Chain A
Amino acid sequence: MIGWSGWGLAFKFIVFPGFLFSVVVGLVLTWVDRFVSARVQWRKGPPFYQPFADLLKLLLKQTIVPKGASKTIFLCAPILGMASMCITSVLLFYVNFNPQGSFVGDLIVLVYLFALPPLAIIIGASASRNPLSAVGASREMTLYFGYELPFLLAILVPVIKSGGAIRLGDLVTAQQAGGPFLYSVSGVIGALIVLASIQAKLGYVPFDMAEAEQEIMSGVFIEYSGVGLAMFKLMKAMMLFLLPLFLITMFWGGFADWWAIPKFLLIVVLIILIKNTNPRFRIDQALKFFWFLLGGFGILAVILAFSNL
Chain B
Amino acid sequence: MSKLGLWGLKKSPWVYHVAAASCNNCDIEILELLTPRYDIERFGMVLVGSPRHADALLVTGVLNRKSLPRVMEVYEQTSKPCLVVCIGTCTCNTNIFRNSYNAVGPYDKYLPVDVYIPGCPPKPEAMITGIVKALSKL
Contacts and interface: CB of A to CB of B under 8 A. Distances in A.
Interface in A22-76: 34, 38, 41-47, 49-50, 53-57, 59-64
Interface in B111-136: none
B110 interface: no
B12 A53 contact: yes
Interface residues of A, number: 33
Contacts of B81: 61-62
Interface string B87-119: 000000000000000000000000000000000
Interface stretch (A148-156, A164-172, A214-222): A214-222
A45 B11 contact: no
Majority SS of interface residues in chain A? loop
B116 to A, nearest CB: 24
Q: How large is the interface on B (under 10, 10 to 19, 20 to 34, 35 or more residues)?
A: 20 to 34
Given A57-B9, A60-B8, A218 B41 contact: no
A109 to B, nearest CB: 34
B52 interface: yes
Contacts of A55: 8
Contact of A46 (B1, B8, B44): B44
Contacts of B12: 50, 53-54, 57
A63 B7 contact: no
Interface in B30-81: 36, 39, 41-42, 44, 48-50, 52-53, 55, 77, 79-81
A46 B41 contact: yes
Contacts of B5: 56-57, 60
Given A60-B9, A61-B79, A222 B44 contact: no
A224 interface: yes
A43 B36 contact: yes
Nearest to B10: A53
Contacts of B49: 213-214, 217-218, 222
B134 to A, nearest CB: 16
Interface of B: 1, 4-5, 7-9, 11-12, 36, 39, 41-42, 44, 48-50, 52-53, 55, 77, 79-81
Given A44-B42, A55-B8, 9 more contacts: A34-B41, A50-B11, A53-B7, A57-B9, A62-B80, A64-B52, A64-B79, A218-B53, A222-B52
Minimum-distance CB pairs A-B, first 8: A56-B8, A53-B11, A225-B79, A217-B49, A57-B8, A225-B52, A218-B49, A213-B49
